[in-house]
Amino acid sequence: MATESPLQMGYPEAAKALCPLKQAQIALPSEVVEYRVLQRSLVKRPGSSPTGPKTVKLTRPVGSVMFTTGRTWTGPKGGEWVELDSFVERPGWLLVQGPGFGIPGPLLQRVKPGETQPLLLRVAKPVEIGCAREEEREMREIVVSPTASVRDAKEWIALIFGLSDPRRIIVGKPTDARARAGVTGAGFHIKSCDGLLDDETSIADAGFSDGDELCYVYTGDLEKSYEGKDPHLDSRV
């Protein structure tokens, strides 16, 4: 006899709960809610309360999904947390976004029913010219909507690699692996791509598909940039 998945089984209506702290905001949806992982390092507070004393780091693949109750808590400093569904995940709360943990930008994105499936694009960490061979490149992933603009993709590249100015990122049209040249200080040789993309061009119109590499050039000073930071787990958001 086939068994139903947790999503097929459904979930009971969430019970009402008191705000754990003043100025906190609680939302209690009645169904399981999926959150998409946007950055590989996540911040979790184990247990039933988002105000617990312990904070731990989790590592999850970008683009994967975390199952939650949909119950959210906003702390006094503006940090947004969501409660994990204990039927699927170990009990706890995940930081959606907020200051104080050393990770810029959102970590999670709520999955909306019926939304257009986003694309997972691969991007190489920029290095100085001649510092890395093709097989030594460090690759990361970004999640973007097909309707997102090239400018949006630039913002994500700058965020995850700590590049100081996304305006100094030049994005090329998709190319196959045989046409792509070796890594340079900016990520690829301009001559290896089929053309450069305007900031307002959508990711879909540019021709990107799920799993493609987004080739780019960074013309800024790498010495003034910094690697995306790991969480600082002693913060109180």
Q: Is the pLDDT of residue 14 over 50?
A: no
| Boundary (domain end) residue, out of 91, 110, 129 | 110
Q: Do residue 163 and residue 82 come from a single domain?
A: no
| Boundary (domain end) residue, out of 110, 133, 167 | 110
Q: Is residue 215 a part of any domain in this protein? A: yes
Q: Do residue 10 and residue 40 come from a single domain?
A: yes
Q: Is residue 103 a part of any domain in this protein? A: yes
pTM of model > 0.85: no
End-to-end CA distance of the chain: 47
Q: Do residue 96 and residue 127 come from a single domain?
A: no
Whether residue 146 contacts residue 202, with contact meaning beta carbons closer than 8 Å, is answered with yes
Q: How do residues 33-70 score in pLDDT, each as one tens digit?
A: 999 999 999 999 999 999 988 999 999 999 999 999 99
Q: Is the pLDDT of residue 3 over 80?
A: no
Q: Which of 66, 71, 24 is nearest to 237 (CA)?
A: 24
Q: Do residue 25 and residue 55 come from a single domain?
A: yes
Q: Work out the percent of the chain whose per-residue pLDDT is above 70.
A: 71
Distance CA 126, CA 184 (A): 8
Q: How do residues 72-129 score in pLDDT, each as one tens digit?
A: 999 878 899 999 998 888 999 999 998 878 788 899 999 998 999 999 999 998 887 6
Report the CATH number at residue 184.
Answer: 3.10.20.90
Per the listing, tokens 């009645």 go with 30
Q: Is residue 179 a part of any domain in this protein? A: yes
Domain interval for residue 212: 119-224
Adjacent-strand bridge partners of 84? 68
pLDDT band at residue 8 using 50, 70 and 90 as cut-offs: very low
Distance CA 65, CA 62 (A): 9
Q: Is the pLDDT of residue 199 over 60?
A: yes
Q: How do residues 131-184 score in pLDDT, each as one tens digit?
A: 656 667 789 999 999 999 999 999 999 999 989 899 999 999 887 543 444 434
The amino acid that residue 174 corresponds to is P
Q: Do residue 177 and residue 156 come from a single domain?
A: yes
Q: Is the pLDDT of residue 202 over 60?
A: yes
Q: Do residue 105 and residue 189 come from a single domain?
A: no
Report the CATH number at residue 100.
Answer: 2.30.30
Q: Do residue 79 and residue 147 come from a single domain?
A: no
